[in-house]
Amino acid sequence: MPSVDPARNLLAIGQLSERSGVSVSALRFYEQHGLIVAERTAGNQRRYRRDVLRRVAFIRTSQRVGITLAAIREALNALPESRTPTRADWVRISAGWRSELDARIAALEHLRSELDGCIGCGCLSLTNCELQNAGDRLGAGGDGAVLWDAAAAPRIPDAASARAR
């Protein structure tokens, strides 16, 4: 195991991996996608500043809440000088994650009530059923709360337009 630069306390990728519990390949992947940064040694090896550990923690925690890497990256980039989130940053951002979570829970509950109304009904007749025809969606809650918004674009790129193209 390589020893740590005594002056600046930089971490090699294996060390960061071990301390964060995130695989080496995932760390490289995060860098590729602009979520973390690394300095390089003369020999082109990555060296991480210690605050990257916090950054990785932030990323994993946000992921556990179901936030996509793209959204996490945006949240990080929105910070002044793209700094690693402070505790205050975390409080603010995680409150936003909480709203996302609320929205997703609400969407599932709405869906459940639809399903309940549908369990005994003529659903499979393919007409007159909310579950069949509603415009709301479940999909990996992309950007924002576009939940049961019937006015949104149709989620099934339907046969007619498919053929038209």
Site of interaction with DNA (CB under 7 A): 1-3, 12-15, 17, 23-26, 28-30, 38, 41-46, 63, 68-70, 140, 156-157, 162-163, 165
Q: How far is CA 161 from CA 35, 63, 97, 119, in A?
A: 38, 35, 36, 31
Closer CB to DNA, 110 or 137, in the complex: 137
The DSSP secondary structure of 96-117, one letter per residue, reads: HHHHHHHHHHHHHHHHHHHHHH
* Residue the block writes with tokens 């975390």: 90
CA distance 163 to 40: 52
CB-CB neighbours of 72 under 10 Å: 23
159 lies in the site for its own copies, by CB under 8 A: yes
| Sign, Cα dihedral of 63, 98, 79, 88 | negative
124 lies in the site for its own copies, by CB under 8 A: yes
- Select from 80, 143, 163, 164 the one that contacts its own copies (CB under 8 A): 163
Binding site for its own copies (CB under 8 A): 14, 17-25, 53-54, 57-58, 60-61, 64-66, 85, 87, 90-91, 94-95, 97-98, 101-102, 104-105, 108-109, 111-112, 115-116, 118-120, 122-126, 129, 131-132, 134, 137-138, 156-160, 162-163
